[in-house]
Structure 1
Amino acid sequence: MSTETKPLQPSQVGVIGAGVMGEALIAALIKYGIKASSICVSEKREERAQELIAGYGICVCDLATNVSGSDVLLLVVKPQDMAAALDEIKGSIKAGALVITFAAGKSTSFISSHLGANNPVIRVMPNTPSLVGVGMSGMSRGAGVSDSQAAFVSAFLGATGKVVEVTEDLQDAITATSGSGPAYFFAFAEHMIDGAMALGLSKDVATTLTAQTMLGAATLLDQSGKSATTLRENVTSPNGTTAAALASLNESDFGGIVAKAMKAARDRSQELA
């Protein structure tokens, strides 16, 4: 995709699914430059609808009106609910409208076949750090997606963090790496905090030490230009404390455990298709 491609400029963006990720995407659209009055959400829960109106100044309307009037439609529903949602909107969707799906495991062809239309579809796998502007999204184009449509999606997702474009056959790998990835770090952080407390530190101190260490290490990896291998080697003195810790992890096949976990996530993503 050319960096000079002018992004699509939709007159209305519809959002189906107003949960935590849906709200993060609404915030990203506004940050990108879409007027709040041009964003319409369909939400059955009146209390939630009022929260979004008060927080962002967006519009809330019934599903059929939203779908028929939107040039871009964001599907932010759970994978198991996707088929039912598509069946509900397929008779109302605007011809030529861009459909963006955020459901794990659901292919662009799955979306298209259930819609029974020729609408272009882009598949996106975001992650939860998008909620604080440091997310990672992987996007893939379905058939018929134009450069301007892809440029729009890449640009507005950029307001949530970083974006990469990959072929759709790699989406399950994206899911296993960055989609599920935050949970791996949270789990590791849990065990680090427990380990620090077992060594005598308070929970508050252990949590601060762990969180800041992870943040610092991630920032160093992101900004230093050095590989993870080089950075690990730089902090690992021969026969030192770090070497002892890493040796203990390796004795338990640390690398194999991580690879097995990621394969399990990839396989489950494929099962959801």
Structure 2
Amino acid sequence: MNLAANEKSIGFIGAGIMGASLIRGLLNSSIKANQIYISEKNLERATEVTSQFSVENLSLSQITQKCEVIFLSVKPQDLENVLKEISGSLKNDALLISIAAGKTSNFIEGLLKSKNPVVRVMPNTPAQIGKGVSVISAGTFATKADLDLTKELLSSTGLVIEVEESQQDAVTAVSGSGPAYFFSFVESMIKSGVKLGLSEEIATKLAIGTIVGSAAMLQESGIDAATLRKNVTSPNGTTAAALEVFSKKKLDDIINEAMTAAKKRSQELA
């Protein structure tokens, strides 16, 4: 693994939403389209991705023969069959980067015939616009160089954080599934705005603008969320009235229960 990232052939087994998001991020960095290959069994999806990114669709055996880095971006339930099929033809030093939710590096290593380095990654969908969060963990045979390469490849998609693999299920509950929580909250804000008399167009603009501005303020101000919340909440004011409803309905408990369910499901996928 001594080639620079921009000299490597990079394969994607599976080219769904997350796989395509990562391809887009790589192409926005120093990686060229002629370095990237996909193996996508859905021909309609393969045509869509190859046309959009000018990459080539190959068979699994061609991917393993050609690529020094392979992203495992299939659905978790499909990973075992894929690994069994590619195990015998992998280059011995090929780096496997798995984004299959819940699947551990031990699971992957146990299905390989060689001691390939494996890095487990939990990305999220804002990677599509370079605002994602990718959390990485080293497998048994992954070196610092493998982790550094993974960070380099993922850096164009947003923030990259390294944790112990034992924390990955919790990561899934926070950042992996997290975007959907915000989308759901915005949906509810829009629906309530319409019920309160706003047009859907205006309610949508207000809700999205508020979420975007608040997130930027949280990131850029250096002030923690609790303090920002207190700063905008006047005693006996409108915000206090709304937050009191959240408190009475035990919003903290609802969020904790939901995220615990996400973590549990990630563990079940292992």
Q: After TM superposition, is the score higher than 0.5?
A: yes
What is the CA distance between 1:45 and its match in structure 2?
A: 3.7
Answer yes or no: is 1:213 the counterpart of 2:191.
no
- Report the number of matched residues: 268
1:61, distance to aligned residue in structure 2 (A): 1.6
Contact 1:10 1:71 in 2 (8 A): no
How far does residue 151 in structure 1 lie from its aligned partner after superposition? 1.2
Provide Cα deviations, 1:48-79, integer angstroms capped at 9, x if missing partner: 33333332222222110111221100000111
- Give, in angstroms, the shift of residue 9 of structure 1: 5.5
Q: 1:141 aligns with which of 138, 143, 146?
A: 138
Read off the aligned partner of 1:15 and give its amino acid letter: F
TM (norm. structure 2) is 0.95
Match of 1:103 among 94, 100, 103: 100
Residue 245 (structure 1) aligns with: 242
The correspondence for 1:13, drawn from 10, 23, 31, is 10
Q: How much does 1:148 deviate?
A: 2.0
In the alignment, which residue of structure 2 is the partner of 1:3? Answer: none
User: Whole-Å Cα distance in 2 between the matches of residues 144 and 8 of structure 1?
Assistant: 19
Q: Aligned AA for 1:254?
A: L
1:83 and 2:80 matched: yes
| 1:16-165 paired onto structure 2 within 5 Å | 16-165=13-162
Instruction: Find the aligned partners of 1:245 and 1:9 in 2 and give their Cα distance.
Output: 51
Contact 1:8/1:149 (8 A) holds in 2: no
Question: Deviation at 1:201?
Answer: 0.4
* Distance of 1:48 and 1:188 partners within structure 2: 30
- The offset of 1:236, in angstroms, is 0.5
Secondary structure of 1:138's partner?
strand
- Is 1:260 aligned to residue 260 of structure 2? no
Q: Secondary structure at the match of 1:52?
A: helix
Partner secondary structure for residue 100 of structure 1: strand
* CA shift for structure 1 position 26: 1.1
User: Does the Cα contact within 8 Å between 1:7 and 1:148 map onto a contact in 2?
Assistant: no
Counterpart-to-counterpart distance in 2, 1:97 and 1:150: 13
Note the C-alpha offset of 1:257: 0.8
Q: CA deviation at 1:10?
A: 5.0
8 A contact 2:9–2:68 mirrored in 1? yes
SS at match of 1:40: strand
Deviation at residue 250 of structure 1 after TM alignment:
0.2
- Map of 2:269 onto structure 1: 272
Instruction: Tell me if structure 2 keeps the 8 A contact 1:128–1:182.
Output: yes
**CA shift at 1:114, angstroms?**
1.2
Percent identity reads: 47
Q: What does residue 183 of structure 2 align with?
A: 186
State how far apart, in whole Å, the 2-side matches of 1:8 and 1:150 are: 12
**Root mean square deviation of aligned Cα:** 1.5
Task: Give the one of 174, 192, 216 matched to 1:177.
Answer: 174
The 1-side partners of 2:257 and 2:16 are apart by 31
Instruction: Check whether the contact 1:32–1:155 (CA below 8 A) recurs between aligned residues.
Output: no
Structure 2 unaligned residues grouped into runs of 5+: none
Partners of 1:125 and 1:139 within 8 A in 2 = yes
Instruction: Note the residue ranges of structure 1 that are not aligned, 5 or more in a row.
Output: 1-5
Instruction: Tell me how far apart the structure 1 counterparts of residues 9 and 60 of structure 2 sit (CA, whole Å).
Output: 14
State the distance in 1 between where 2:259 and 2:178 align.
Answer: 9
Match of 2:163 among 161, 166, 174: 166
Contact 1:38/1:59 (8 A) holds in 2: no
The answer (yes or no) to whether the contact 2:117–2:140 under 8 Å persists in 1 is yes
Which stretch shows the higher mean deviation, 83-92 or 49-58?
Answer: 49-58
Residues 71 and 98 in structure 1, CA contact (< 8 A), matched pair in contact too:
yes
Shift of 1:47: 3.9
